Amino acid sequence: MLLDFNDLEEGVILESDICIVGAGAAGIAMGREFAKTSLRVCILESGGLNYEQETQDLYQGVDENLPVQPGISRLRFFGGTTNHWEGQCTPLTALDFQKRAWVADSGWPINYGDVLPYYQKAQEICGLGHFEYGEALWSLLSEKPPAFDKEKLETFFLQLTPGSARLFGQARREEAQSWPNVNVYLHANVINIETTGGNNHVSGLEVASLNGKKGKVTARRYILAAGAIANARIMLYSNKVSANGIGNEYDNVGRYFMQHPHVDIAEIVTEEATAKNALSALIGGKNLPEEGYNRVVAQVGVRLSPQQQEKEKVLNSSLLCRKGVPFDSPEQLLVSMLKRLKRGQIPDRFLEKLWYLTKNAGELAEFIPLAFKEGVEPALKKTSNGKTILVQARMEQSPNRESRLLLSDKRDALGLPGLRTQWRLNELDRYSIKLMASKLGAEIGRLGLGRLRFAEWFDSFDPQDDSPGNWHPSMWGGFHHMGSTRMSDTPHNGVVDRNCRVHSIDNLYIAGSSVFASSGYANPTLTLLALAYRLVDHLKELD
Query: Taking a C-beta distance cutoff of 8 angstroms, is the pair 301, 157 a contact?
Result: yes
Q: Give the range of 341-349, 444-452, 463-471, 474-482 binding another protein by CB under 8 A.
A: 444-452
Report how many helices (DSSP H) and strands (DSSP E) the chain contains, helices first.
19, 19
* Gap between the Cα atoms of 102 and 427, Å rounded: 12
Is residue 363 part of the contact set for another protein (CB under 8 A)?
Answer: no
Residue from 58, 207, 225, 437 binding another protein (CB under 8 A) = 437
**Least distance (Å) from another protein to the CB of residue 139?**
27
The full DSSP string for 385-420 is -SSEEEEEEEE-----TTSEEEEEEEE-TTS-EEEE
- Residue 274 lies near another protein (rule: CB under 8 A): yes
Nearer to another protein, 241 or 447 (CB): 447
Q: 389 forms bridges with which residues in the sheet? A: 268, 323
Tell me the pairing of strands 201-208 and 189-196: antiparallel
Is there a contact between 518 and 108 (Cβ–Cβ < 8 Å)? yes
Is 453 a binder of another protein (CB under 8 A)?
yes
510 in Cβ contact with 502 (< 8 Å): yes
Residue (411 or 451) nearer to another protein, CB: 451
Shortest distance, position 443 Cβ to another protein, whole Å: 7
| Residue 358 CB coordination number (10 Å) | 9
Would you give the distance in Å from CA 238 to the centre of its chain?
Answer: 25
**Contact by Cβ (8 Å): 261, 397:** yes
Is residue 466 at the binding interface for another protein, with CB under 8 A as the rule?
A: no
Asked whether position 347 contacts another protein by CB under 8 A, the answer is no
Closer by beta carbon to another protein, 434 or else 486: 434
Angle between the 330-342 and 367-374 helix axes, to the nearest 10 degrees? 50
* Residues 366 and 379 sit within 8 Å (Cβ to Cβ): no
| 458 forms part of the interface with another protein (CB under 8 A) | yes
- Using the rule CB under 8 A, is 471 a contact of another protein? no
Interacting residue with another protein among 81, 195, 270, 318 (CB under 8 A): 270
Tell me how far apart the alpha carbons of residues 493 and 498 are, in angstroms, rounded to a whole number. Answer: 13
* Of 253 and 437, CB closest to another protein: 437
Question: What is the nearest approach in angstroms of another protein to the Cβ of residue 366?
Answer: 20
Contact in structure between 340 and 475 (CB atoms under 8 Å): no
Using rule CB under 8 A, residue 357 touches another protein: no
Report the alpha-carbon distance of residue 535 to residue 517 in Å, rounded: 16
Residue number, 148 or 168, with CB nearest to another protein: 148
Stretch that binds another protein, among 29-37, 86-94, 204-212, 442-450 (CB under 8 A): 442-450
Q: Are 300 and 281 in contact (CB under 8 A)?
A: yes
Q: Shortest gap between Cβ of 149 and another protein (angstroms)?
A: 8
108, 454, 516, 521: which one contacts another protein (CB under 8 A)? 454
**What minimum distance in Å lies between the beta carbon of 454 and another protein?**
4
By CB under 8 A, name the one of 184, 452, 496, 522 that touches another protein: 452
**Nearest alpha-carbon partner for 370 in 351, 383, 353:** 383
Report the residue from 284, 386, 445, 469 that binds another protein according to the rule CB under 8 A.
445
Site string for another protein, 303-332 (x = CB under 8 A): -----------------------x-x----
Interaxial angle between packed helices 25-34 and 524-542, expressed in degrees from 0 to 180 and rounded to the nearest 10: 30
Sign of CA dihedral 116, 120, 121, 125: positive
Work out how close the CB of 274 gets to another protein at its nearest, in angstroms, rounded to a whole number. Answer: 7
Rounded distance, CA 43 to CA 532, Å?
14
348 binds another protein (CB under 8 A): no
Binding span for another protein by CB under 8 A among 90-98, 202-210, 351-359, 449-457: 449-457
Least distance between another protein and beta carbon 270 (Å): 7
Angle subtended at Cα 499 by Cα 494 and Cα 503, rounded to the nearest 5 degrees: 40
Tell me: does residue 456 bind another protein (CB under 8 A): yes
d(Cα 266, Cα 389) in Å, to the nearest integer? 9
Per CB under 8 A, the list member of 443, 479, 495, 508 interacting with another protein is 443
Quick note: the x/- pattern for another protein over 120-159, rule CB under 8 A, is -----------------------------x----------
State in angstroms the smallest separation of the CB of 445 from another protein: 4
Which one, 123 or 329, has the nearer CB to another protein? Answer: 329
Closest by Cα among 540, 58, 86, 106 to 309: 106
Rule CB under 8 A: is residue 441 a binding residue for another protein? yes
CA proximity to 531, closest of 494, 486, 489, 492: 486
Residue 277 sits in the site that holds another protein (CB under 8 A): no
DSSP β-bridge partners for residue 263: 393
User: Which of 298, 321, 391, 444 lies at the binding interface for another protein (CB under 8 A)?
Assistant: 444
The size of the interface with another protein (CB under 8 A), counted in residues, is 28
The CA dihedral of 145, 147, 149, 151, to the nearest 10 degrees, is 40
CB of 501 to another protein, least distance (A): 46
Residue 530 to residues 122, 126, 147, 512, Cα–Cα distance (Å)? 5, 11, 33, 9
CA-based R_g, the chain, Å: 24
Closest to another protein by CB, 438 or 490 = 438
Instruction: Indicate whether 376 belongs to the interface with another protein (CB under 8 A).
Output: no
Contact with another protein (CB under 8 A) among 144, 349, 411, 446: 446
Q: Is 442 in the site for another protein (CB under 8 A)?
A: yes
Residues that bind another protein in the complex, under the rule CB under 8 A: 149, 266, 269-271, 274, 326, 328, 437-439, 441-448, 450-456, 458-459
